[in-house]
């Protein structure tokens, strides 16, 4: 069995994921408000709204503070002359091997949030789908993109 990948993402990825998860989860706070607007705030509905509010706050806290750390802790990648090995997942772990002979193109992507932390993501496109190595240092992301491109060119020449 092949060894698991060993490269970790930068710890700054945790902050980026905390911000994005926090903003993404804000819409959940609209659920108790919408429930109160539809059914009112009296009797049984009062307890339903309070329960829904507690659940929403718990989900927001977990997705903002715990899940980014656990995702970062479990994200690993490795690149060699034959394939790209990606391992991720908190509860359900996924390991993906991408043969370099299947790589069609490699991009680096940087949005405003990643840019504010000097991070970029590397996207790897194959005929079937697109894979991503998220939140690498900008310099490292360029180096990884170049390395994948070079290995993919060599793999293409071998075919």
pLDDT digits (tens, 9 = 90+) for 97-137: 999 989 999 999 999 999 999 999 999 999 889 999 999 99
Contact 39, 45 (CB under 8 A): yes
pLDDT digits (tens, 9 = 90+) for 53-69: 999 999 999 999 999 99
Q: How confident is the model at residue 77 (pLDDT cuts 50, 70, 90)?
A: very high
Q: Copy the structure tokens of residue 145.
A: 């993109």
Instruction: For residue 76, give every residue at least 6 positions away whose Cβ sits within 8 Å of its Cβ, in sequence order, or none.
Output: 4, 5, 6, 7, 8, 85, 86, 87, 88
* Residue 152 pLDDT > 90: no
pLDDT of residue 4: 77
pLDDT of residue 42: 85
pLDDT of residue 2: 74
Contact 87, 77 (CB under 8 A): yes
| CB burial string 89-110: b at 16+ within 10 A, e below | eeeeeeeeebebbbbeebebee
* Residue 14 pLDDT > 70: yes
Q: How confident is the model at residue 159 (pLDDT cuts 50, 70, 90)?
A: low
Say what the pTM is.
0.84
pLDDT of residue 119: 96
pLDDT of residue 1: 65
């Amino acid at each position: 069995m092949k060894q698991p990948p060993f490269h970790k993402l930068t710890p700054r990825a945790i902050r980026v994921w905390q911000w994005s998860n926090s903003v993404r989860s804000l819409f959940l706070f609209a659920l108790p408000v919408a429930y109160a607007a539809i059914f009112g705030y009296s009797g049984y509905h009062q307890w339903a709204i309070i329960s829904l509010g507690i659940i929403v706050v718990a989900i927001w806290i977990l997705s903002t503070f715990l899940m980014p750390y656990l995702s970062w802790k479990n994200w690993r990648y490795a690149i060699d002359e034959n394939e790209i090995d990606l391992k991720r997942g908190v509860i359900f772990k996924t390991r993906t091997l991408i043969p370099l002979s299947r790589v069609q193109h490699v991009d680096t992507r940087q949005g405003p949030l990643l840019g504010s932390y000097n991070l970029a993501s590397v996207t790897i496109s194959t005929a079937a789908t697109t894979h991503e190595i998220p939140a690498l240092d900008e310099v490292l992301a360029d180096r990884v993109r170049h390395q994948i491109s070079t290995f993919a060119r060599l793999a293409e020449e071998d075919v």
